[in-house]
Structure 1
Amino acid sequence: TNVSVTSIWLSGNSIGDEGLKALAEALKTNASVTSIDLHFNSIGDEGVKALAEALMTNTSVTSIPLWNNSIDDEGVKAFCVPGIQVAAHGASAYS
């Protein structure tokens, strides 16, 4: 049987911006993941912008907890564009 991963739990792994950029690249071609837990990961605006770009084409991800990262206004703004349908918990961003 073919089993698809639907949730990714990366909390507390300190993946940082570079790790999130790599994950964002993979998400551009993934349609099964719906939730990615990214809290406590030393993520900043640069990583979140890459994630937001990936979510412009990936509509399966609907929940991303982002608590306790280093995301400022610029990172939150990256999620606040038409086309992104995700609840970015901890960044208070919905579109």
Structure 2
Amino acid sequence: MRELRLDNNSIGDQGAHIVSSLLNSATRLEKIDLGFNSIGSGGMKTLMKYVSESTCINWLSVSGNPIDSEASKAVAYALAYNRSLKSMFLDHCFIAHEGQRHITAGIVSNSGISLRNLTGFPLGAAAATLGLPPALENWTNEQLLKFIHLMWERVSHDQDPHERELDPLHFLPSLPGGEATSPKLLFGANGLPIADHIGPLDPATVVTVAKTVFASLGDNGNEVLSSEP
């Protein structure tokens, strides 16, 4: 089975728990629609644990299920770890500002994220409050996600293993304005180089890489805004 559609069935938290337990054995499942099912924070936490560990799901809709502060943290956790999901739909989830910040932080902290499409709220406005370049505030979600991919691709591609060991900031000598950057910032909490890191990177690393890569684009990010996906 590659696709599961259970939208508009009012399965609630109990149904979400049952579905999540069954999903663990569905190793080929790529598309899941659980929209408008009255799933609360408890059910959402269980679902997002599955998402965080999945290596096959690439399309997910939980639209129409209210996402409160606790549920938004679960979504953030899932997006900080998942490396297969390409599209996620969060329409009509009534996500508050703080919840939007949690989710955005999860996305930008994942150096291996595959996400290309997210609906439900503007990522740019939340990203700007996390210390990323203010110009991102007016970007579309597609543009911001493209920039996030570019951030981590630059880190991965511009350094060979020898450079990572000797000079992890060889390609990022300083921040705009001449502020020196600490070599520790391009390593994850587990000591691995960013390119090899699984899970969320610390905020200081994310902000440093975002600011430096954005400054390298020139023309206020026109490279990202105008290029093809």
Short-chain TM bin: 0.7 to 0.9
- The percent of aligned pairs where both chains have the same amino acid is 29
Q: Check the 8 A contact 1:52/1:84 in 2, yes or no.
A: no
How many residue pairs match? The answer is 91
- Which position in structure 2 is the counterpart of 1:39? 35
Amino acid at match of 2:32: I
Which of 47, 61, 65 lines up with 2:61 in the alignment? Answer: 65
Distance 1:76 1:63, change over 3 A: farther
Which of 59, 73, 86 lines up with 1:77 in the alignment? Answer: 73
Alignment of 1:7-26 (within 5 A): 7-26=3-22
State the TM-score, normalizing by the size of structure 1.
0.81
* Max Rg structure: 2
Please give the per-residue CA displacement for 1:5-43, whole angstroms capped at 9, x wherever unaligned: 111111110011110111111112221111111111001
Distance 1:59 1:45, change over 3 A: same
Q: Check the 8 A contact 1:30/1:58 in 2, yes or no.
A: no
Structure (1 or 2) with the greater helix fraction: 2
Amino acid at match of 2:57: V
Unaligned runs of 5+ in 1: none
Q: Check the 8 A contact 1:28/1:55 in 2, yes or no.
A: no
Cα distance in 2, alignment partners of residues 16 and 64 from structure 1: 17
Alignment root-mean-square deviation, CA: 1.9
Segments of 4+ in structure 1 off by > 6 A?
none
Q: Check the 8 A contact 1:27/1:58 in 2, yes or no.
A: no
Unaligned runs of 5+ in 2: 94-99, 108-229
